[in-house]
Amino acid sequence: MTQTGDKTDTLEELEATVGPEPAVAPEGAGPAGAPARTDVKDKDKDTRERILDVALDLFTEQGYDGTSLRQIAEQLGVTKAALYYHFESKEDILLALHMRLHEFGKETLKKIGDEPVTLAQWAELLDGLLDQMLAQRTIFLMHERNQAALEKLHRQDHDAEHEDIQNQFRRVLADPRVPLRDRVRMAASFGAVFSSLFMSFDAFTTDSDDGQAADVLLREVIRDIVAG
């Protein structure tokens, strides 16, 4: 059944690009002899992430305004209709990429309990956070090069989550059980991590050697700030 503009139609087009779903294993068949079955939700999630990865590269290389949905679809080898199954607009793709930044903060906050945080614990948390951020530094470069487009992203769900993460960090940094001097060091070191990656990416990565040296120096500076 074909219905122009309907999501049923776009799903059929999407499935055509990735091939038919494997047959379901007979009931009771053991995992060793059963054919592999890809769950539809997993397939959709994988396709969604591929769309975001391609869009990230294009937004970084030629800018958000200079990239069209057609270009993203062509890079993936799918139709524009297939993109609309996962994202209603190009702005939705940009928002989803921006939300990847929130994952960094979430993972760090999960490791912070109700007990007061020591400087040693904070340094360890920042080191792990920095590992994640450096491994995905392209997301920061994309933000740096598309600030005007990102400033327009003021949606209730995004703003609410952003505020929640900020409030959790504020709770840690405002904990009166932690000495004020230590809290100031924590705040300064946290700010140094993000400002270095957001504001100075191009300046520190003119070639691969400079980039590696900058990574090492950034870690040293963060440790110096924490240690005082």
What is the C-alpha separation between 86 and 128, in angstroms, rounded? 31
Q: Is the pLDDT of residue 4 over 50?
A: no
Domain match, 119 and 188 both: yes
pLDDT digits (tens, 9 = 90+) for 169-204: 888 889 999 999 999 999 999 888 877 776 655 566
| pLDDT confidence of residue 74 | 95
Q: Is residue 92 part of a domain?
A: no
Domain match, 128 and 184 both: yes
pLDDT digits (tens, 9 = 90+) for 70-98: 999 999 999 999 899 999 999 999 999 99
> CATH no. for residue 67?
1.10.10.60
pLDDT digits (tens, 9 = 90+) for 158-176: 666 667 777 888 888 899 9
Task: Provide the greatest CA pair distance for the chain.
Answer: 68
CA angle 32, 37, 38 (to 5 degrees): 140
pLDDT digits (tens, 9 = 90+) for 96-139: 999 887 777 777 777 787 889 999 999 988 888 888 888 888 88
Of the three residues 86, 121, 140, the one that is the final residue of a domain is 86
Q: Is residue 33 part of a domain?
A: yes
Domain match, 187 and 128 both: yes
pLDDT digits (tens, 9 = 90+) for 42-63: 677 788 999 999 999 999 999 9
Domain match, 109 and 66 both: no
Q: What percent of the chain has pLDDT above 90?
A: 31
Q: Is residue 71 part of a domain?
A: yes
Average pLDDT in the 137-156 region? 84
Q: Is residue 36 part of a domain?
A: yes
Domain match, 79 and 104 both: no
| pLDDT confidence of residue 228 | 75
Domain match, 110 and 80 both: no
Question: For the chain, what is the domain count?
Answer: 2
SS (H, E, C) the chain: CCCCCCHHHHHHHHHHHHCCCCCCCCCCCCCCCCCCCCCHHHHHHHHHHHHHHHHHHHHHHHCCCCCCHHHHHHHHCCCHHHHHHHCCCHHHHHHHHHHHHHHHHHHHHHCCCCCCCCHHHHHHHHHHHHHHHHHCCHHHHHHHHCHHHHCCCCCHHHHHHHHHHHHHHHHHHCCCCCCHHHHHHHHHHHHHHHHHHHHCHHHHCCCHHHHHHHHHHHHHHHHHHHHC
Domain match, 31 and 106 both: no
What is the C-alpha separation between 69 and 80, in angstroms, rounded? 7
Six-digit token string for 226: 């924490």
- Would you place residue 35 in the very low, low, confident or very high pLDDT band (cuts 50, 70, 90)? very low
Domain extent at residue 31 = 7-86
